[in-house]
Amino acid sequence: VKKKISIILPVYNEERAIASIYKAIIVVISGMPEYLYEVIFVNDGSVDNSWNEIKKLSQKDKYVKGISFGRNFGHQIALKAGYDSSSGDAVISMDSDLQHPPQLILKMIKKWEKGFEVVYVEQIKRRDGVFKRVPSLLYYRLLNYVSQITIPKNVGDFRLLDRKVVLFIKSIKTKSLYLRGLVPWSGFSSTSICAEYSDRVSGKSSYTYWKMFKLAFDGITALSLFPLKLAAIVGAFVVFTGIILLLIILIDFIFYNSWYPLFKWLATVTYIFVGVLFILLWILGEYVGKIYEETKNYPQYVVVEKTNLE
Ligand code: UDP
Ligand code: MG
């Protein structure tokens, strides 16, 4: 039987890109008749004509499928909806603004056929300005530092996933989804191919600074409890310096007969207690973190392969 490739494309106000991305994909697909295909557009609450464009395509080509949200749920959730309704043996996600060159599809499939369950496309030369590039670089440094997994940098949401990985993604029900972390977290075998991304065909990026910040924050909080532990650092520092302070005035008082007014003693003791409070906050944070981990409801582990077992 022929294997099937699903291509999922989140769409947010891309009315002028849809027809061209479809054409570009079809050109590639017609060059690989050994595979079946489906192209799934997920309209993430566009306010332009995107959904009509998608429906027009789906009337001409029955392998074009569409899902439409009534409002904007965000890129990650749009991708999730695409994964949820895909049925391919491999699922490729890409932007619908033609920044992710469809010619790479074939290369990705070849890697997948070699046995890799995840194929990333790494951007070798980033086109974004310094204001996007530098924060992004620092951010991935931080993310890799605070999480126990390695998140490939310069890799967006252009990737191929084997059905096994897609099944895992489908099982995840969290609302603040961070696929760029979730995929490496699952531990499936991965590889990447390097390529240059293109410029957007039309319109402008809908990733405002606010959306990027939200995604960045979702990434950190999804992958690590590090922010919760910050209170411990503050607490330890305050308690430590407070005790030194107290020792200094104690020694001064006992051995050098210095006289300290009550408020100075009180200030020092209060200072130490502020530190203690921070430590208690951290302990509380640890429990909140546990609750958070449980409510995320991730599976405890992900099995990549089995032998002699069903
Ligand atoms: N997108 C989406 N929902 C959003 C924002 C973006 O579905 O809220 C889609 C968008 O149509 C595009 C992809 O996600 O196909 C990437 O978005 P964009 O090109 O704006 O981001 P950039 O490439 O600048 O990071
Ligand atoms: Mg883009």
Which atom of ligand 1 lies nearest, measured to the CA of 156? 25
Most confident of the following: 121-135, 137-151, 280-294: 280-294
Give strand pairing partners of 195.
123
Which pLDDT score is estimated for 69? 97
Cα–Cα distances in angstroms (integers) from residue 218 to residues 143, 213, 227, in the given order: 11, 8, 12
**Tokens (6 digits) for 95:** 């932007």
The confidence score (pLDDT) of residue 201 equals: 79
Q: Supply the Cα-derived Rg of the chain in whole angstroms.
A: 26
Residue 223: predicted pLDDT = 87
Q: Cα(7)–Cα(85) distance, rounded to whole angstroms? A: 11
What six digits make up the tokens of 238? 């305050």
Verify whether ligand 1 is closer than 6 Å to residue 181 (CB atom).
no
Is pLDDT of 241 > 80? yes
C-alpha of residue 227 to centroid of ligand 2, in Å: 30
Protein residue with its CA nearest to atom 3 in ligand 1? 75
Residue of 97, 176, 211, 213 with the most ligand 1 atoms within 8 Å of its CB, for mutation: 97
The predicted pLDDT at position 116 comes to: 97
Q: Which is higher by pLDDT, 139 or 53?
A: 53
Could you give the percent of the chain with pLDDT greater than 90?
Answer: 71
Instruction: Tell me: pLDDT of 127 over 80.
Output: no
Indicate which atom in ligand 1 lies nearest the CA of residue 97. Answer: 15
- DSSP, res 202: S
**pLDDT per residue over 40-57, tens digit each?**
999 999 999 999 999 999
Please give the distance, rounded to the nearest whole angstrom, from the Cα atom of residue 209 to the centre of ligand 2.
Answer: 14
| 28-32, 65-69, 237-241, 292-296: least confidently modelled range | 292-296
Between helix 226-255 and helix 209-223 the angle, nearest 10°, is: 70
| C-alpha span between 221 and 205 (Å, rounded) | 25
Short-list 106, 111, 120, 96, CA closest to 198: 96
The protein residue whose alpha carbon is closest to atom 18 in ligand 1 is 205
pLDDT, one tens digit per residue, over 152-179 is 888 889 999 999 999 999 999 998 899 9
75 and 100 Cβ atoms separated by less than 8 Å: no
Per-residue model confidence (pLDDT) at position 212: 86
Contact present, 46 and 77 (Cβ < 8 Å): no
How many Å lie between the centroid of ligand 2 and the Cα of residue 292? 32
Distance between Cα 44 and ligand 1 center (Å): 9
93 half-sphere exposure, CB direction, 13 A CA radius: 31
Residues in the chain: 310
> What are the angstrom distances between the C-alpha of 243 and each of 229, 239, 257, 266?
22, 6, 20, 13
pLDDT averaged over the chain?
Answer: 93
Residue 90: which H helix or E strand, with range?
strand 90-93
155-162, strands of its sheet edge to edge: 64-68, 35-43, 3-11, 90-93, 155-162, 118-123, 190-195
For the stretch 259-302, pLDDT in tens is 899 999 999 999 999 999 999 999 999 999 999 989 888 889 99
Given this model, what pLDDT does residue 43 score? Answer: 97
164-221 pLDDT, tens digit per residue, is 999 999 999 998 899 999 999 999 999 999 998 888 877 788 888 888 888 898 899 8
- Regarding the beta carbon of 202 and ligand 1, being less than 6 Å apart is answered no
Residue in 140, 105, 133 with CA at minimum distance from that of residue 32: 105
**pTM for this one?**
0.88
DSSP, collapsed to helix, strand or coil, labels residue 261 as coil
Cβ 22 vs Cβ 88: under 8 Å: no
**Could you give the angle at the alpha carbon of 82 between the alpha carbons of 127 and 306, nearest 5°?**
100
pLDDT score recorded for residue 280: 96
d(CA 184, CA 151): 6
Q: How far apart are alpha carbons 217 and 19 in whole angstroms?
A: 34
Which residue's entry shows tokens 């089995």?
306
Q: Look at residues 76, 93, 81, 117 and name the one whose alpha carbon lies nearest to residue 39.
A: 93
